[in-house]
């Protein structure tokens, strides 16, 4: 039975101990590849657009692309405004019709983060009671690209459990993005997730969906363990970008005279499909529709 509500799918993922895959897109080709895999594996999908990505695509355009694929395929596909760095950016995504919004005010003080997230939750729920809102707490290092330097995570970067409980209670967010040893992008060193911290957060916040950002570059065994320990939503962006751009460069090199864009993209779409399939199998989210 298909569920049309993101929260119900995420709660089922939490109960059944698997993770919903969240994949960022910059264009139609990436979206088509991700949806193709969702259909073939019968896996629900969470599609993300960062501020830069949704400014490039267009807010309404992203909403209608995802809606078209949802109607055409009949599988649960939800659109998330990833890492909205201000309440204004988050509100714009709510107004455009996004299914979920991640308001990331983690660079602010704790109180500013709480107040801004509270404001967004109240506004979003008044517009759409079914919308899912995510907040973030902790210091998230790195960026969504390949980084040549070693990124060291300090103990004070990690999400504090008592603060997390207060944050969720005061803001009433549906989802929480904690810092548990993860980073954005791919660094010269492998991340090491604090699985014990994930378990403690899950125990203290049993009704809140825990989201793992920075899924690119995290070893497979750690991601599997995270999903078993309370993470129900895993984000992947950089590895999708790498699969796409590496394949596109190769196609252009091999077909220097080709000028028809759609003839360049089959191998690119296939490369993204392979990466998405790899991740969904790790997350355990196949045959969940």
Catalytic residue annotation? 82
Instruction: Report angle CA 215, 94, 231 to the nearest 5 degrees.
Output: 25
Q: Specify the pairing of strand 142-146 against strand 132-137.
A: unpaired
* DSSP classification of residue 107: T
CA 27 – CA 225 distance, rounded (Å): 31
Phi and psi at residue 255, to the nearest 5°:
-130, 65
**Helix 266-283 to helix 238-254 angle, to the nearest 10 degrees?**
150
Distance between terminal CA atoms of the chain?
6
Please state, in angstroms and rounded to a whole number, the distance separating the CA atoms of residues 2 and 16.
16
Supply 80's token pair. 């998330």
Distance between CA atoms of 240 and 262, rounded to whole angstroms? 19
Pairwise CA distance, residues 269 & 237, whole Å? 15
């Amino acid at each position: 039975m298909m569920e049309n509500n993101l929260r119900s799918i995420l709660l089922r993922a939490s109960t059944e101990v698997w993770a919903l895959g969240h994949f960022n897109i910059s264009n139609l080709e990436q979206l088509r590849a991700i949806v193709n895999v969702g259909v073939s594996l019968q896996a629900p999908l969470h599609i993300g657009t960062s501020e830069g990505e949704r400014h490039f695509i267009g807010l309404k355009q992203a909403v209608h692309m995802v809606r078209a694929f949802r109607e055409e395929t009949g599988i649960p596909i939800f659109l998330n405004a990833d890492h909205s760095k201000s309440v204004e950016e988050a509100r714009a995504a709510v107004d455009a019709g996004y299914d979920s919004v991640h308001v990331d005010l983690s660079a602010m003080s704790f109180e500013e983060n709480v107040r801004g997230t509270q404001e967004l939750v109240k506004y979003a729920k008044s517009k759409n009671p079914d919308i899912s809102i995510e907040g973030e707490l902790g210091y998230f290092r790195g960026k969504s690209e390949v980084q040549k330097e070693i990124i060291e995570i300090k103990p004070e970067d990690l999400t504090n459990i008592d603060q997390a409980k207060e944050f969720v209670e005061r803001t009433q967010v549906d989802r929480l993005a904690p810092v548990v040893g993860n980073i954005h992008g791919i660094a010269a060193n492998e991340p090491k997730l604090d699985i014990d911290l994930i378990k403690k957060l899950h125990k203290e916040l049993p009704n809140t969906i825990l989201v793992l950002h920075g899924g690119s570059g995290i070893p497979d065994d750690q991601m599997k363990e995270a999903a078993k320990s309370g993470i129900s939503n895993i984000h992947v962006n950089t590895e999708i970008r790498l699969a796409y751009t590496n394949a596109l460069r190769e196609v252009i090199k091999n077909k220097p005279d080709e000028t028809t864009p759609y003839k360049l993209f089959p191998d690119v779409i296939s490369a993204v499909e392979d990466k998405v399939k790899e991740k969904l199998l790790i997350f355990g989210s196949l045959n969940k529709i």
